[in-house]
Amino acid sequence: MQQTPAGKQTTLVVDNISLSFGGIQALKNVSLEIKEKEKEILAIIGPNGAGKTSLLNSINGFYRPQKGRIIFNNIDVTKFPSYRRAQMGIARTFQNIELYTGMTTLDNLLAARHIHMKYNFLWGALYFGKAHTEEIKHRRIVEDVIDFLEMEAIRKRIVGALPYGKRKLVELGRALALEPKLLLLDEPMAGMNVEEKEDMARFVLDIFEEKHIPIVLIEHDMGVVMDIADRVIVLDFGEKIADGTPQEVKANPRVIKAYLGVEEPVKTGPNS
């Protein structure tokens, strides 16, 4: 069992992972930790190409790092496929929306419940007994998510016909329908207008505060990060260059350099 040095159990430990694709180093010796008793909203920021999505893909099993370990709820999941990690409680949203566009909002959320379904094909086909009882349970959980995210108006709408912001909300709902123990959000507010961003930020905070789910969030909007994150990790060219509170990270010279570059000194003198 993996524990922190102080003896506290951990929700997530990313231990010195490195990931490369051919000659491209996506991640280099990256580590982070979320302690069980110190649940938080952890934001991961950095310039484009810094390795943020690669880090999330490594945590939920889409990528397998060549070096290092990933510990989730004190179990080494480094070699586990993504579906096993989802069964254990790691849920995520995607930078590019991944929904069943020909299905309704309700059906998309119900699809997320398949990993929790226990009845076999015969019970499901006959639809009585255990299958019927379990179906009621899954529908109740999905309806609770719809209420929580205020999606009643779109519950029977075809997802492909919804505005972009609503589709992002459906994707968040699908992740919640998994009943996650850890929620990974990859740019949940990208492409949204100001009002939609405010609503999404409110829902993220509600999930954290009311459902007590730790959240790892990738977000480019620094205003949002400063408002909702408890801690911020900064990546640059696959390396972690800062880890601290939003205010600490905001004032970090390495972070400023990564985002703004190094300003050339102003030349002075008779020939300037």
Tens place of pLDDT per residue across the chain (272 aa): 344 444 456 789 999 999 999 889 999 999 999 987 778 999 999 988 899 999 999 999 999 999 999 999 999 999 999 999 999 999 999 888 888 889 999 999 988 888 766 655 444 555 555 655 677 788 899 999 999 999 999 999 999 999 999 999 999 999 999 999 999 999 999 888 999 999 999 999 999 999 999 999 999 888 899 999 999 999 999 999 999 999 999 899 999 888 766 554 444 555 54
CATH of domain 1-89+180-272: 3.40.50.300
Domains in the chain: boundaries: 1-89+180-272, 100-164
Q: Which amino acid is at 265?
A: P
CB 233 within 8 A of CB 243: yes
Torsion 182-187-191-194 (CA) sign: positive
Q: In terms of Cα–Cα distance, which of 53, 86, 89, 52 is closest to 211?
A: 89
